[in-house]
């Protein structure tokens, strides 16, 4: 599958102190996010084969991460874990449901609604059981994990969300229902790992996607 967002730059400062790090473009675009906030934080670390690229991208930003947070343990999110720990020795935070096959053990585990300031961890299982989003209300921003991805990943217009493909999800029905947890939070920007991020009206677009006609008739058993 080819990511249709092929005009991306290797490092993009989305807003002040928020960096989108593109690690690979083919056969798909993989990325990580670096935040130069009170605690410099890297969120996810791409596939193992892109570890050197990840370290180069971080160096380009001239921001040394003091914290590494994983949203879940898929190979394209955890592959650079050991390389980042070896280089920067950050405090590592990993979902309590994740099983890692890394040289370094995580420093800390987190669960649903735990506070990783300024982020609130939001458990959104379905794609995987350990899938989390990170919402930072004071920054009006959410990292969607792999709960939702950019619509252009599936050939639709950019600027909207869709669910991760069923072939890559443990339970697509659960993924859709659990995505409703986003509706408990306010945010305008939704950062995704596949496809294009939604940089305005993100929460409104989540509502439009999830609150479909006749939703009240959906049988949940």
The pLDDT tens digits of the residues spanning 111-168 come to 999 999 999 999 999 999 999 999 999 999 999 999 999 999 999 999 999 999 988 8
Residue pair 162/154 in contact (Cβ under 8 Å)? The answer is: yes
What is the CATH classification number for the domain harbouring 63? Answer: 3.60.15.10
Is residue 74 included in any domain, yes or no?
A: yes
Query: Which range has the worst mean pLDDT, 1-5, 102-106, 140-144, 206-210?
Result: 1-5
Is residue 50 included in any domain, yes or no?
A: yes
Is residue 1 included in any domain, yes or no?
A: no
Residue pair 55/90 in contact (Cβ under 8 Å)? The answer is: no
Is residue 128 included in any domain, yes or no?
A: yes
What global pTM score does this model have? 0.92
pLDDT over 90 at 88, yes or no: yes
Is residue 47 included in any domain, yes or no?
A: yes
**Total number of domains in the chain:** 1
pLDDT digits 0-9 by tens, 36-77: 999 999 999 999 999 999 999 999 999 999 999 999 999 999
pLDDT over 90 at 218, yes or no: no
Is residue 48 included in any domain, yes or no?
A: yes
Name beta bridge partners: 161: 150
The chain-wide mean pLDDT, for the chain, equals 92
Containing domain of residue 72, as a range? 11-98+119-214
Residue 8 has what pLDDT? 60
Tokens 């991208």 locate to 57
pLDDT over 50 at 221, yes or no: no
Mean pLDDT of 196-213: 95
Is residue 110 included in any domain, yes or no?
A: no
Is residue 130 included in any domain, yes or no?
A: yes
Q: Which helix (H) or strand (E) holds 83?
A: helix 81-88
Residue pair 83/139 in contact (Cβ under 8 Å)? The answer is: no
């Amino acid at each position: 599958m080819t990511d249709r967002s092929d005009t991306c730059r290797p490092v993009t400062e989305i807003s002040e102190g928020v960096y989108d790090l593109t690690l690979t473009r083919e056969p798909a675009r993989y990325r990580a996010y670096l935040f130069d906030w009170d605690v410099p934080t890297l969120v996810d670390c791409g596939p193992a084969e892109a570890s050197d690229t990840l370290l180069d991208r971080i160096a380009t930003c001239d921001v040394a991460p003091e914290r590494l947070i994983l949203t879940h343990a898929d190979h394209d999110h955890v592959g650079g874990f050991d390389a980042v720990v070896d280089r920067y020795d950050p405090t590592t935070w990993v979902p309590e449901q994740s099983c890692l096959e890394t040289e370094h053990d995580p420093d800390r585990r987190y669960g649903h609604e735990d506070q990783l300031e300024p982020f609130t961890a939001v458990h959104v299982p379905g794609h995987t059981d350990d899938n989390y989003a990170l919402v930072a209300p004071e920054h009006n921003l959410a990292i969607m994990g792999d709960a939702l991805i950019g619509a252009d990943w599936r050939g639709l217009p950019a600027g909207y969300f869709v669910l991760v493909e069923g072939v890559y999800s443990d339970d697509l029905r659960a993924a859709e229902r659990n995505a409703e947890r986003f509706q408990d939070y306010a945010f305008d920007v939704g950062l995704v790992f596949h496809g294009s991020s939604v940089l305005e009206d993100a929460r409104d677009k989540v509502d439009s996607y999830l609150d479909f006609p006749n939703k009240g008739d959906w049988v949940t058993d």
